[in-house]
Amino acid sequence: MKGKSRLFTIGLVTAWYSSNIGVLLLNKYLLSNYGFKYPIFLTMCHMTACSLLSYIAIAWMKMVPMQTIRSRVQFLKITALSLVFCVSVVFGNISLRYLPVSFNQAIGATTPFFTAVFAYFMTLKREAWLTYLTLVPVVTGVIIASGGEPSFHLFGFLICVAATAARALKSVLQGILLSSEGEKLNSMNLLLYMAPIAVVFLLPATLIMEENVVGITLALARDDVKIIWYLLFNSALAYFVNLTNFLVTKHTSALTLQVLGNAKGAVAVVVSILIFRNPVSVTGMMGYSLTVFGVILYSEAKKRSK
């Protein structure tokens, strides 16, 4: 039984890595290489798929018990989280138009820095000085990687930093807004409610900022039907990222998840370089390595402070 359990866990982790890296690489291919320059519409497709597949997984397949929204206040809190979540995903997708995946992942690795900053100012929660000290290599590594990045793009860099900050803000807000026992939702139920709200936010943004994107997509499909399959597969993958993340969290420890998460970023960098052949410098790789090392130290310091 232990052998079967270990194989199941390995399968889950492989599925988590594959879906995570897959959606990242496919986003990059569509937005940059393929020339589908509509990141807001792409994000709306992701959120639509997450809405439908979340409902199927929870209401029909009973993968987890359905949790209900208990009050108008709780609904407003989830709406606020959904808005921040939208910003993080849209900005992340926009940054992929301008930056290689390897550099995008290097910036994304600074999430613990922004999380610590937001937690300090919003909850006045102070970590041990050693924990804050470990954030120095996290930030220094990205500064070094930026200086050595052959494909550096200032707008793409700023948008990617904003996406990373929004991702950190969402996690801190989630801890604050849904902290009471009556309001806590597991990640699958939270996605079930956040995704449709995200679609409501993204629909007018798409219509205003990416005019006639549906018509353009249909015109592209007449010339190359693969674009429809790319969008469908990409949107389904976006849901499986969340599903596999939930399952890996459920079947492993928090520490294991942190270690796997750090390794996932490094794997994504290597795979993206092999696929897209984007130029990398020794300085850039040294900077990214320093950032990952800092994140590992941060995780260790957080664990010891508990």
Burial class (CB in 10 A: 0-12, 13-18, 19+), 300: middle
Q: How far apart are CA 170 and CA 73, in angstroms?
A: 17
Amino acid 53: pLDDT? 97
Is there a contact between 290 and 141 (Cβ–Cβ < 8 Å)? yes
Nearest to 233 by CA among 29, 33, 82: 29
**Could you tell me the pTM of the whole model?**
0.91
Is there a contact between 198 and 81 (Cβ–Cβ < 8 Å)? no
Amino acid 54: pLDDT? 97
C-alpha distances in Å from residue 30, one per residue of 76, 151, 172, 233, 234: 34, 18, 31, 12, 10
| Beta carbons within 8 Å of 106's beta carbon, 6+ residues apart | 141, 142, 145, 269, 284, 287, 288, 291
Amino acid 253: pLDDT? 64
Place of tokens 């199941």: 8
* Residue 69 DSSP symbol: P
- Is 109 strand, coil or helix? coil
Where along the chain do its domains lie? 12-305
Q: What is the 3-state secondary structure (H, E, C) of 245-291?
A: HHHHHHHCCHHHHHHHHHHHHHHHHHHHHHHHCCCCCHHHHHHHHHH
Amino acid 303: pLDDT? 78
pLDDT digits (tens), the chain, 306 positions: 566 778 888 899 899 999 999 999 999 999 998 989 999 999 999 999 999 999 999 999 999 999 999 899 999 999 999 999 999 999 999 999 999 998 999 999 999 999 999 999 998 878 888 889 999 999 999 999 998 899 999 999 999 999 999 999 999 999 888 888 778 899 999 999 999 999 999 999 999 999 899 999 999 999 999 999 999 999 999 999 999 988 888 887 666 676 777 778 888 888 888 888 888 889 999 999 999 899 888 888 887 876
B/e letters for 89-112, b = 16+ CB within 10 Å, e = fewer, are: bbbbbbbbbbbbbbbbbbbbbbbb
- Is 183 strand, coil or helix? coil
Nearest to 49 by CA among 233, 246, 247: 233
Amino acid 2: pLDDT? 60
